[in-house]
């Protein structure tokens, strides 16, 4: 492993908001270099730089057959095991330890399915490669693939962590006319402007936040991306939509969370709510594409990284994330 981003989804598991089998080695946003290949592995070579995907598609289920690999129902990744059902990890006493999402990147080395290791073009830095593996694919994909935002559209993004700022980068890449970034932490707003947001709004009480957003968006936004995962901001995102507007839910809540909206105006105004998991990523196609866009200067992924840590610092990193500090903390090895 060369680099591993710390993502809020690791924190959801760490804090018990998502029930998962265990014990687990967390981490699912990793870049690595191939050290050894299993028998029969083609398309990779020792020394190859790779980004890891946390969702290996089975390629056999109806969703995969229909070309929607992000909806694969047969993925071994969500069982936190290799495709053959085994785990490569053991405690000293021999009991099983599972790799989170089949890759467990908070480790100096990992055994992963060959399909999880996506070869990237030469010249890509490990930190950027790592982020392509989760937040970039999730945020850029939500904008460009799930929503397919049109040039000139007005876009709001709630939450400016690695995922939300990747939505901002995606909106800029898609030539959105207005990109309004919203967070409750002021330092995040500067980062969003730096990435091309046309306006940034510090979230306070809902009425004044909504007023500031609508002014910056020039009226009702065409698209609102929620990249926090809070019922309150999900409801706020939906309520901001004008007729014909689309809310894209990217942030994941704790299990069981519910949100509500007033149905009549929603239907009457033909509004839409879309869920977007992992930015509809087809890793083998999208990861090298995002890497090329980065190398061409069109996805400044490196600007998301604002703290480098070691494995021993993870608890401190999680504490900082709970406070909304840092955009993307990255474990470097």
Q: Which residues contact ligand APR (rule: CB under 6 A)?
A: 7-9, 12, 135, 138, 158-164, 182-185, 188, 203, 227-230, 233, 250-252, 321, 324
> CB-wise, 87 or 290, nearer to ligand APR?
290
> CB-wise, 82 or 143, nearer to ligand APR?
143
> Is there binding between residue 31 and Zn ion (CB under 5 A)?
no
> Is there binding between residue 9 and Zn ion (CB under 5 A)?
yes
Stretch that binds Zn ion, among 9-17, 184-192, 193-201, 214-222 (CB under 5 A): 9-17
Residue from 1, 2, 6, 7 in contact with Zn ion (CB under 5 A): 7
164 binds, among Zn ion, ligand APR, none (CB under 5 to 8 A by kind): ligand APR
Instruction: Tell me the chain's radius of gyration from C-alpha atoms.
Output: 19
> CB-wise, 11 or 61, nearer to Zn ion?
11
How far apart (Å, rounded) are the C-alpha atoms in residues 153 and 304? 24
How far apart (Å, rounded) are the C-alpha atoms in residues 160 and 81? 31
Residue nearest to ligand APR (CB): 161
What x-and-dash track marks residues 101-140 binding Zn ion by CB under 5 A?
---------------------------------x------
Closest C-alpha to 246, from 141, 151, 154: 154
Binders of Zn ion in range 134-173 (CB under 5 A): 134
Size of the site for Zn ion (CB under 5 A): 3
Closest C-alpha to 280, from 142, 155, 178, 175: 142
- Least separation in angstroms between residue 251's CB and ligand APR is 4
- The angle that helices 162-173 and 186-194 make with each other, rounded to 10 degrees, is 30
131 binds, among ligand APR, Zn ion, none (CB under 5 to 8 A by kind): none
CA distances from 161 to 44, 138, 145, 299 (A): 32, 12, 20, 16
294 binds, among ligand APR, Zn ion, none (CB under 5 to 8 A by kind): none
- Least separation in angstroms between residue 26's CB and Zn ion is 10
Q: Which residue has the tokens 């996805």?
A: 299
> CB-wise, 160 or 195, nearer to ligand APR?
160
Half-sphere exposure of 183 (CA within 13 A, CB side): 27
> Is there binding between residue 304 and Zn ion (CB under 5 A)?
no
- Least separation in angstroms between residue 79's CB and ligand APR is 19
Closest C-alpha to 137, from 104, 102, 182, 170: 170
Instruction: Give how far the C-alpha of residue 232 lies from the chain's centroid of Cα atoms, to the nearest Å.
Output: 20
Closest C-alpha to 201, from 181, 227, 176, 224: 181
- Least separation in angstroms between residue 24's CB and ligand APR is 16
- Least separation in angstroms between residue 233's CB and ligand APR is 5
> CB-wise, 104 or 162, nearer to ligand APR?
162
- Least separation in angstroms between residue 18's CB and Zn ion is 12
Residue 288 has a CB neighbour count (10 Å cut-off) of 17
Q: Exposure of 21 by Cβ count < 10 A (0-12 exposed, 13-18 middle, 19+ buried)?
A: exposed
How far apart (Å, rounded) are the C-alpha atoms in residues 82 and 77? 7
Query: What would you measure as the largest C-alpha separation in the chain, in angstroms?
Result: 62
Summarize as ranges the residues that interact with Zn ion (CB under 5 A). Answer: 7, 9, 134
């Amino acid at each position: 492993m060369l680099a591993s981003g710390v993502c809020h989804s690791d924190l959801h598991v760490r804090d018990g908001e998502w029930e998962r089998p265990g014990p687990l080695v967390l981490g699912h946003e990793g870049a690595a270099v191939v050290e050894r290949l299993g028998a029969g592995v083609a398309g990779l070579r020792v020394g190859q730089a790779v980004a890891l995907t946390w969702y290996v598609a089975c390629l056999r289920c109806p969703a995969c057959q229909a070309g929607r690999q992000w909806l694969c129902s047969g993925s071994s990744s969500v069982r936190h095991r290799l495709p053959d059902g085994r785990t490569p990890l053991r405690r000293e006493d021999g009991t099983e330890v599972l790799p989170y999402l089949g890759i467990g990147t908070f480790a100096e080395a990992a055994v992963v399915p060959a399909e999880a290791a996506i070869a990237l073009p030469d010249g890509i830095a490990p930190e950027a490669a790592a982020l392509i593996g989760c937040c970039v694919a999730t945020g850029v994909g939500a904008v460009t693939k799930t929503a397919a935002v049109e040039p000139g559209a007005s876009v709001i993004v709630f939450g400016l962590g690695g995922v939300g700022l990747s939505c901002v980068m995606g909106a800029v890449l898609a030539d959105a006319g207005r990109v309004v970034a919203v967070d409750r932490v002021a330092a995040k707003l500067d980062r969003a402007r730096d990435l091309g947001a046309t306006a940034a709004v510090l979230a306070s009480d809902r009425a004044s936040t909504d007023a500031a957003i609508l002014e910056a968006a020039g009226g009702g936004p065409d698209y609102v991306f929620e990249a926090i995962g809070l019922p309150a901001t999900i409801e706020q995102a939906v309520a901001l939509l004008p007729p014909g507007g689309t809310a894209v839910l990217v942030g994941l809540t704790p299990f069981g969370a519910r949100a509500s909206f007033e149905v009549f105006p929603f239907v009457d105004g033909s509004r839409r709510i879309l869920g977007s998991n992992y930015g509809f990523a087809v890793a083998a196609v999208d990861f090298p594409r995002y890497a090329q866009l980065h190398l061409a200067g069109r996805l400044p992924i490196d600007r998301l990284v604002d703290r480098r840590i070691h494995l021993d610092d993870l608890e401190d990193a999680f504490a900082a994330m709970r406070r909304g500090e840092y955009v993307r903390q990255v474990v470097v090895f």
